[in-house]
Structure 1
Amino acid sequence: MCASYGLDPRFTDAELLAEADADILDGLRVWAERNAGETVRPTGKNLRNLNPLIVPRDGDAAWEASWWGYLVRGEPAKFPSINTRSERLQERPGGLKGRGIVPMSSWFEMHKPDRVWQEFALDNDALFGAAAVTQPGRTADGEEFTCYSIVMRPAADHLAEVHDRMPVLIPTAFAHDWLHADGGREIIDEALLAAASLDERVTVTPRKSDKGAADRLF
C-alpha cells in the first residue's frame, strides 16, 4: 500500500499534464513550500492535512486541497480507503465515476523484513501523477471535501522484491483521458497499459530519513 509520498517544491520538470497549466504548477509549488517538505500522509480526523489533487473542471483541469481517504457518515471510513486495488476497479468499474491525479515527486514503502524505508521516484526526479478515484465527503460539522484513494497495481518486476504494489502512474499523454473519459472497465485497462510505459523509469533507493523531508526537503 502507499501510505505516504513526497511533493518536492523544487521540481523543475513536471510530467503531470500534457499541457501543464502554469497556474496549477505554481499552486502546487506554493503548497509544497508551505508544507515545509513534510511527508504527505492520509488526512486525519483532528489534523486536517488536506493535500493537492488534480481534478477535472469544465473540460480542463484544476487542483484543489482534498481529503486522502474516504469519509463515511461524517467520519473517516472504518475500512481501508487510502488505496484502492486496480483489480477491484476492473471487477467493479462503478468506482471509476470520479477520478483525479495525485501530484507527487516520490512515494515511500517499507522493505520487509529488514524494515528499511525505500523511496520510489522517476529517473529524472520530475513531478509526476498517480491515478486516484474520488468521491464527495462531508465531515460531522458539515464541511464538504473531495475525498481520494490512490489506485494501486502489482509492482513492476524490478521493484517487486522491494514492495509488491505500486501506484498506477499516469503519463502526461494519458492525463486528459484519465480525468475526462467515460468511466468503465476500459478506462482502468487503458490506464494500466499507459502506466506500464513508465515502469522502467521508476527507481528505488533507501530513504535517508524515516521522518520524511524535514531532513531532506525531498
Structure 2
Amino acid sequence: MCGRYATTRSSGTLSQLFEAYDDTDGRLRPDWNVAPTKPVPMVRVDGEGARAVSLARWGLLPPWATSPSAGARMINARVETVATSRAYAAPFARRRCLVPADGWYEWTRTDGGKQPYYLTRADGGVLALAGIWSVWRGPDGPWLTCSVLTTAAVGVLTGVHDRMPVLLPPQRWGRWLAPTADPTALLGADEEWLAGLEIRPVGPEVGNVRNGGPELTDRVPGVPAPRPRPPVAEAADEMTLF
C-alpha cells in the first residue's frame, strides 16, 4: 500500500525531469508527509496530447461520487482489479499518470509498537509511481483527482509491507502515459530499478500528519533492517491508512 509519501521537488524541476509543461499555477509546495486528500503533483497527458505537471487531489473521485470525502478511501488501486473496477477501469484505460515522489513511508509491527520506514532511491533520484486520474465536478468547479497503483511487494520490500506502489523506471514513462499503450504490460517489477532503493528507518513523528518537515526522512540509528517475508494478499480493493 502507499498511505504516506514525500514529494518536494518544484514544478520547474518536475517539468524538466518529465519533459512536461508546468500547469500548477505556482501552487505546488514541498511536502514531506503527504496524506490522503492533499494536493499532489502528477504528470499527465492533456487534451492536446502534451505532457503537463498538474496538481491533483490524492484520492480518486469517480464522476458519480456525491461527496469529496469518498476520495480518502480511494488513494490506492490494486493492479489485480484496477482494469475491472467500476471506479478505476475507465481511468486505467485512458487517463494514466505518473505521481512523482521522493519516497514513501511504511510501518512494520514490532514488540514496541510500529516502526516507520522511508523507502527512497539511494542515489536521490525521483520515483515515478504509476497512477490514474479523473475529473470530478463539484459545486465549485472541476477537480483533478488521482490514485496510486499498488502491487504485491517483492524482494527485500516484503520485510516492510506486503504491498508496494508500482514504480515505473524512466524507460516506461512514455508508454505508461500513451493513451494507446497496453498498461498491463508495464506493471511488472523492474528488478534493477528496485535494487536501487534504500529502506531507511525513521522516527514516529511521521505518523502525525501535522508534522511535515524534512527531518521526517532522517535516519534513526540502531534500528535493524527488516527481514523479507512472503507476500500476503489483501482483501480490500481500496487502501486505507495504517
TM bucket, shorter chain: 0.7 to 0.9
Match of 1:54 in 2: 43
Report if aligned partners of 1:55, 1:101 keep a CA contact under 8 Å in 2.
Answer: yes
- 1:94-173 correspondence runs (5 A): 94-96=90-92, 97-113=94-110, 114-139=113-138, 141-173=139-171
Deviation at 1:78, TM superposition (A): 7.2
Deviation at 1:213, TM superposition (A): 4.4
Match of 2:75 in 1: 82
Deviation at 1:146, TM superposition (A): 1.6
Deviation at 1:9, TM superposition (A): 3.7
Deviation at 1:23, TM superposition (A): 5.2
Q: 1:108 to 1:217 in 2, by over 3 A?
A: closer
Match of residue 42, structure 1, among 28, 33, 36: 36
Deviation at 1:173, TM superposition (A): 1.2
Report if aligned partners of 2:2, 2:104 keep a CA contact under 8 Å in 1.
Answer: yes
Gaps in structure 2 of 5+ consecutive residues: 218-242
Aligned partners of 1:170, 1:121: CA distance in 2, in Å?
Answer: 13
Match of residue 207, structure 1, among 202, 221, 228: 202
Deviation at 1:7, TM superposition (A): 1.4
Instruction: Please identify the structure whose Cα radius of gyration is greater.
Output: 2
* TM-score after normalising by structure 2: 0.71
> Aligned AA for 1:202?
L
Q: 1:81 to 1:22 in 2, by over 3 A?
A: closer
> Aligned AA for 1:55?
R
Match of 2:172 in 1: 174
Aligned partners of 1:181, 1:23: CA distance in 2, in Å?
Answer: 18
CA RMSD of aligned residues (A): 3.1
Q: Deviations over 1:35-61 (max 9, x none)?
A: 4x4411111xxxxx3111111123331
> Aligned AA for 2:76?
N
SS at match of 2:33: coil
Q: 1:98 to 1:198 in 2, by over 3 A?
A: same
> Aligned AA for 2:44?
V
Aligned partners of 1:200, 1:91: CA distance in 2, in Å?
Answer: 31
Q: 1:191 to 1:18 in 2, by over 3 A?
A: farther
* TM-score after normalising by structure 1: 0.78
Aligned residues: 201
SS at match of 1:67: strand
